[in-house]
């Protein structure tokens, strides 16, 4: 158990990490580390968004993902009010239909805005304990159209990963970094099909490992 101070969002909040709560600082650091490259890969290889689709972004942060998507109907929520303000401005400039609101997985009332073709939750699960992470997949299932998909991506411990990656992961802001098996069990709270997990070591410019989870809601349930 680490002893670093943590807030209610499952994040370490001491020292430099406190500065990351600023939307502008968060965006700058993400770009420097290679977040742009990571997001392009996630969109091209896993999300496959189509113009006009209804997309939900859980834990959307500053809605950085919209920069890499075609014109979709974008819905997002996040518990950080500063991120939500930036996200609303950014999403509205990329999409004619954008709605971002302040909420968290455990209290989310997003069903009223569904159903969605695609649900994404990028770099979020490692901030959530197992209870809330399982709930995230249940919320996705309940709000997806039949045949719709959820895609998540998070930092991951992995056998054989570089010592630098492990060093950085152990200091990540998220308190719930898992290994592939830990992420794999999270969709199990709902009757998804085609569940896949992929571990990649090449999403960022710095040595780091991620686990991407994809799952599909059956066409008939
Ligand atoms: C590393 S950031 C990723 C943000 C965004 N998805 C992106 O791609 O840049 C993690 C986000 O998860 C959000 N978060 C933390 N706890 C959450 C919860 N319980 N429910 C929803 N979002 C949460 C944080 O506020 C933060 O914006």
Tell me the whole-structure pTM to 2 decimals: 0.89
Q: How far apart are CA 186 and CA 198, in angstroms?
A: 14
The candidate with the shortest Cα–Cα distance to 176, out of 190, 162, 156, is 156
Residue 71 sits in a domain whose CATH number is 3.40.50.150
In the chain, the number of structural domains is 1
Residue 1 lies in a domain: no
- Domain limits for position 188: 16-216
Residues 6+ apart with CB under 8 A from 21: 13, 80, 82
Beta carbon of 155 within 6 Å of any ligand 1 atom: no
Candidates 78, 131, 137: which one to mutate for ligand 1, based on the most atoms within 8 Å of Cβ? 78
Q: What is the pLDDT along the chain (221 residues), one digit of tens a residue?
A: 333 445 555 656 555 566 655 667 777 777 788 889 999 999 999 999 999 999 999 999 999 999 999 999 999 999 999 999 999 999 999 888 999 999 999 998 998 999 999 999 999 999 999 999 999 999 999 999 999 999 999 999 999 999 999 999 998 889 999 999 999 999 998 999 999 999 999 999 889 999 999 999 999 86
Residues 6+ apart with CB under 8 A from 15: none
Determine the distance from the C-alpha atom of residue 133 to the mean position of all C-alpha atoms in its chain, rounded to a whole number.
11
Residue 5 lies in a domain: no
Closest residue (by CA) to atom 22 of ligand 1?
Answer: 59
Beta carbon of 128 within 6 Å of any ligand 1 atom: yes
């Amino acid at each position: 158990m680490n002893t670093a101070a943590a807030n209610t969002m499952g994040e370490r909040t001491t020292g430099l990490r406190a500065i990351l709560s600023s939307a502008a600082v968060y965006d700058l650091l993400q770009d420097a580390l290679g977040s742009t490259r990571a997001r392009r890969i996630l969109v091209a290889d896993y999300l496959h968004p189509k113009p006009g689709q209804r997309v939900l972004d859980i834990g959307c942060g500053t809605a950085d993902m919209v920069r890499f998507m075609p014109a979709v109907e974008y819905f997002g929520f996040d518990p950080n009010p500063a991120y939500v303000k930036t996200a609303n401005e950014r999403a509205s400039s990329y999409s004619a239909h954008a709605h971002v609101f302040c909420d968290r997985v455990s209290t989310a009332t997003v069903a009223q805005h569904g159903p969605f073709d695609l649900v994404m939750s990028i770099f979020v699960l490692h901030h959530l304990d197992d209870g809330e992470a399982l709930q995230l997949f249940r919320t996705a299932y309940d709000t997806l159209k039949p045949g719709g998909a959820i895609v998540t991506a998070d930092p991951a411990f992995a056998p054989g990963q570089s010592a630098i990656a492990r060093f950085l992961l152990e200091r990540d802001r998220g308190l719930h970094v898992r290994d592939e098996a830990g992420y794999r069990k999270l969709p199990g709270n709902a009757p998804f099909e085609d569940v896949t997990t992929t571990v990649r070591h090449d999403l960022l410019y710095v040595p780091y490992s991620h686990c991407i989870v994809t799952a599909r809601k059956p066409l008939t349930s």
